[in-house]
Structure 1
Amino acid sequence: MTSRRSVLGSLAGITALASLGIRPGAAGTGSDIPPFRRGIGVSHALGWAQVEADGSYGEAPFSGPRFRFGRAQRQAIRAAGFDFVRLAVDVGPFLAFTGVARDKLDEFLIGTVRDLVDADLGVIVDLHPSAMNPAYRPAALTAGVQTANFQAALVLLQRLAGQLERLAQGRAARLALELMNEPELPQAAWQPMLEAAYRAARSGSATLPLVLGGGSMNAPAALSELDMRPFAGDTRLIYTYHDYSPWQFTHQGVRGNPAFALDAIAYPAPPSAAAMITASRRRMKELALDGAALAQAGQAKRTLARYAGFDRSILEQTFRQVSAWRSAQRLPAHAILLGEFGVHRTPFMNTPEGAAARERWLRDMRELAEAHGFAWACWTYVGPGGFALAEDETGPGFDAATRRALGLRSP
């Protein structure tokens, strides 16, 4: 359920920020932005809503055992040293339900946020479409500003912004609303929809901090293409991007991804790709791929020749480019959120070499984000799919390697 939908943006365009389209933005000290620092995505509580055999939602789409998010888990997240949660919320049920059923969903969401606040955690409520119900899959929600689904999403944004603002009143609550997770549209197509989403949320609350992404699956390069004029003067905005580079390493074994057939991909990558190519060739034979999948796997395998030698210095290029854009916009460093980063677990990750590679990549990403002053939220806490960071994918705590990589406290 928590597998990544696809590699962010263009597989090869992760460093396209070098050609920055810089426009001056509004200056600000950042005092209106909550001090989010170290976060973790929580996708099992309100993400990937349960559906019936016909694809429709049941009466209580977040009620099954896999959605349980109890006090022990909340306390374990806070005790580890995380100060906020990025709460993934499947948009579909909130658009499909009406009347009392929808009101109950709203109450469940706000109650979940309240429980997190009571655990001394900040919360970014992330509207996170899923493909569980075809009518509300990600592409169906962003087919155009005037489409019925997107108009309904605007109403939802307005409503949630007001509810979160009211929840924050009288509390030392660190809350924000993320307008849409990973829009699959290119930035130019996403821009008018982003502006409409921004206006809707602001009509619900003039003060609630909002999280905006640039489109293209929240690729870092999309930030530089944003037209910032509609947001000028609003000092309560956080700008987000996601980074899973290099995809050959982070997405090896992910079904539906070009890296599905890759195996034993290391980080940092060795000077020679020979061993990784041999391991991937062996995996391709074991998978018995069909013609189309075999062609995609072969193309992915050929990228390993260019991947050889990948290390932290290449990861840092993206951070520097986002920082350059941030400086040009005169934004405070903590107005930038690295909203997702993570590594898919495979049998290779259970070997000493693989475990060390995973730990080093997570540590490098975390340290680079902190060095540039960015907030960060790793993906994800618990659940199936291979990206879970909690020990044994269930937690409530974290294993020693993950704690070391993310700079967390010992139990």
Structure 2
Amino acid sequence: MENCFRSWSFPFAGLAGILSRPKTARTRKELILPLLRALLCFGQLLACSVADAATAFTMKQGLNLDLWTTWPGPERWDEDAVLAKFPEWRQDTSIDNLKDIRAAGFDFVRMPIDPAIFLEDASGKRVTRLIAATIETVDMIHEAGLKVIVDFHSIPSDVRKVGTNQVLADNDLFARYLDAVARVGTALSTTDPATTAFEPFNEPVIDCDPTLFPKWPSLLKRLHAAARKAAPNHTLVLSGSCWSSAYGLAKIDPALIADENVIWTFHSYEPYILTHQGADWTGDSMSYVEGLPYPPDLMGEEAFDERLAAVRKTIETNAPEERREELLTGFNEMAGGVMSYKQVLTMLNEPFDNAEAWGKKHNIPPERIFLGEFGMIRQEYRKEFRMPSPWRATYLKDMTDAAQQRGFPWSVWSWGGAFGITLDDDKRILDPVILKGLGLKPQ
């Protein structure tokens, strides 16, 4: 930008000097040429402004790596076997696995790392080793030809000492969290900003109630300040509140941050009743839901009604008696919104519409609005039902189409695990049907 201002100042100064002379001493040529030069440089200044406003890190289509696949309890967090290949997915991963991701057409990965291990009873020795392993993993991903977003991925838990809920509720713990962000960000500052970005917080679970005073904006400002000081040249990935939803993003004024080297992210799994079938960790009726096709009228309206009836029967038979009515009511409310493909697409597109409107309101270009997570469950752990790949592929196509139509980059959840896009979690072979649904190349 400094060079742009310098090139602008020379013709402008010359023109000012001519205009300061008496009219009789000016010639038309003397006026026109400096004016043309000034206009040309003004155009260059605008171009420089646009260039400077671009993020250091760019991306198009990505994949979330694993987080919880083999992660042991805190009592083992200082064992060599655990720390040797942090993050834990590296224990069964080769460089060839990562190269397969690149060959399929993904240009970047979002790499979740659990901040709890940096904070819960963590010695300086442990943190130093974790940071070294993080940088080693970033290098490994780059070697495979992929860019990477390092995602400090807290998770909500009421039983852990350090989870999303605890970090956001405890000011002292949040301050310690910022210290960890600073240490990781400082380490990442040694990497290439064109191929590495930093996401310092995953899915803040606050500010979902519109009647309460929002807490996230002030926390976000502190989070951004810590990450930006540590990594002054790297793109930061930031989100709104309420599980990084588009609703939460719409509540953020980016002027609070005033940083052009930021990509704003939102997550969406709508319609939830179809994407989370069988998930027994949600605490609601989803544990009893299975077999609902995508799209819902795939097998006809009558067959879909029969499947809904079967789920209701399962809840009535297997749910705890004291929660049965609550779970049935919740299920029926969700089911009422997905009775046709048209309804589903309306629900699916709503977060995109909200994010797009927010971007236009605040002059955030679409390439700086990132669909950071989306997906449809493959198979819940301990459950027999497995979602057919064609159902999932159709859903993923609808989601990626919605993102690409608006110019949003995206990253699907996830490589392995319950939402995995591989055929299994051992061989790590990417599901060709899923890849086709994502618009990528089956291997």
Tell me whether the two structures share a fold, i.e. TM-score over 0.5. yes
Question: Which one of the candidate residues 76, 82, 87 is aligned to 2:100?
Answer: 76
Does the 8 Å CA contact 1:38/1:83 hold for their aligned counterparts? yes
- Count residues with an aligned counterpart: 370
Offset at 1:335?
0.3
- Give the aligned partner of residue 345 of structure 1: 378
- Give the aligned partner of residue 147 of structure 2: 122
CA distance in 2, matches of 1:289, 1:247: 20
CA distance in 1, matches of 2:140, 2:158: 26
Offset at 1:285?
5.4
| Structure 1 residues 67 and 115, CA gap change in structure 2 (3 angstroms) | closer
The alignment partner of 1:177 has SS state of strand
Offset at 1:165?
1.7
Question: Which one of the candidate residues 251, 261, 266 is aligned to 1:241?
Answer: 266
CA distance in 1, matches of 2:113, 2:257: 25
1:103-127 alpha-carbon deviations (Å, 9 max, x no partner): 1111001100111011111111111
- Give the aligned partner of residue 433 of structure 2: 401
Alignment of 1:369 onto 2:403? yes
- Give the aligned partner of residue 23 of structure 1: none
TM-score, length basis structure 1: 0.83
Does the 8 Å CA contact 1:110/1:163 hold for their aligned counterparts? yes
Larger radius of gyration: 2
The alignment partner of 2:202 has SS state of coil
What does residue range 10-409 of structure 1 map to in structure 2 within 5 Å?
31-44=54-67, 49-52=71-74, 57-60=77-80, 61-63=82-84, 67-68=90-91, 69-96=93-120, 97-130=122-155, 131=157, 134-144=160-170, 147-168=171-192, 173-186=194-207, 188-232=214-258, 234-257=259-282, 258=284, 259-270=286-297, 274-284=305-315, 288-303=318-333, 304-309=335-340, 310-346=343-379, 349-350=386-387, 354-383=388-417, 386-409=418-441
Offset at 1:305?
2.7
Offset at 1:320?
2.2
- Structure 1 stretches of 4+ with a deviation exceeding 6 A read none
Question: Percent of pairs identical after alignment?
Answer: 25
Offset at 1:313?
4.2
| Structure 1 residues 330 and 88, CA gap change in structure 2 (3 angstroms) | same
| Structure 1 residues 252 and 292, CA gap change in structure 2 (3 angstroms) | farther
The alignment partner of 2:292 has SS state of coil
Offset at 1:206?
1.7
The alignment partner of 1:125 has SS state of strand
TM-score, length basis structure 2: 0.77
The alignment partner of 1:374 has SS state of coil
| Structure 1 residues 204 and 47, CA gap change in structure 2 (3 angstroms) | farther
Offset at 1:167?
1.8
| Structure 1 residues 127 and 133, CA gap change in structure 2 (3 angstroms) | farther
The alignment partner of 2:110 has SS state of strand
The alignment partner of 1:136 has SS state of coil
User: Structure with the greater relative contact order (CA < 8 A, sep ≥ 6): 1 or 2?
Assistant: 1
Does the 8 Å CA contact 1:87/1:126 hold for their aligned counterparts? yes
The alignment partner of 2:189 has SS state of helix
Name the amino acid aligned to 1:76: D
Offset at 1:63?
4.9
- Give the aligned partner of residue 35 of structure 2: none
Could you say which structure has the higher helix fraction? 2
CA distance in 1, matches of 2:107, 2:190: 21
Name the amino acid aligned to 1:311: V
Does the 8 Å CA contact 2:338/2:344 hold for their aligned counterparts? no
Does the 8 Å CA contact 2:158/2:165 hold for their aligned counterparts? no
CA distance in 1, matches of 2:104, 2:322: 44
Offset at 1:245?
0.4
